[in-house]
Amino acid sequence: MRVLIVDDEAPARDKLRRWLTEQPDVEIAGEAGDGLAAALAIQSLTPDVVFIDVQMPGLSGLEVIAQLEPEGTPLIVFVTAFDEHAVRAFDLNAVDYLLKPYDKDRLHKALTRLRDRRGQAPGSGSSSGAAVHAARSQTTSSERLLVPDRESLRLIDAASIHWLEADDNYVHVHTAQSRYLVRRTLNDLLQQLGSRFVRIHKSSAVNLAEVASLSPLFKGDFAIKLRSGHELRLSRRFKDELFARFQG
């Protein structure tokens, strides 16, 4: 098993690394000290297993998992000092959790579960992608979004996004200066970003704070002018929701 260790505390990483290296079937693929570094390492190192702390600077462990691709996601073991997060880890279909301070015996039990999970046949209900879907459902109204940026990843503020444009199973994320292509559905992304955005068309949504004006077109449609000067179309199907959000 190629393992990635993620924890913002160096002593915690050192302890886990020492104990894991005693296992003949475990290889340490790498380490990360914060959520963004963890996301980058998962993308570049493609580990089989990720031991990840729940509370970290930048992105929490839950936010990291929520922004992974369900297909090919590593097996997840949450490491936490908080009981409520440990319970949530099981809700997220993680393989296991380690409650700090844990001992070697508890780690060995987690490794046994990992070996059993890796030995299950495809389609047997053991897909680690379930953790991603569940994490996304529990990390709504996120103020940050992880986006691809050339060969790396970038963490952007949700407030900096002007509008979202669906393209099959991808979404173009438009900011003032850049456009990022994220492999997510529009519905999924709107669920994560929360009430800051509202859908204006079956394939687009807008940041309410960026709307400057509305102008009627025909058959109930409207033209939306953003503060940047860019224009979008508001479909009559979604106008009631947009007007209600402004009135609210």
The pLDDT confidence band at residue 126, using thresholds 50, 70 and 90, is very low
pLDDT of residue 248: 66
Give the C-alpha separation, 131 to 92, whole Å: 5
Beta bridge partners of 215: 223
Tell me the pTM: 0.80
Contact call for residues 41 and 30 (beta carbons, < 8 A): yes
Average pLDDT for 144-155 = 87
Confirm or reject CATH 3.40.50.2300 for domain 2-137, answering yes or no. yes
* Sheet strands side by side (includes 231-234): 211-216, 222-226, 231-234
Predicted confidence (pLDDT) per residue in 166-186, tens digit: 998 899 999 999 999 998 889
Instruction: Extract the tokens encoding 42.
Output: 């998962």
For the chain, the domains span 2-137, 158-247
pLDDT at 160: 96
**Rounded Cα–Cα distance for residues 174 and 117 (Å):** 39
Average pLDDT over residues 218-229: 93
Domain 158-247 belongs in CATH node 3.30.460.80: no
Residue type, 6: V
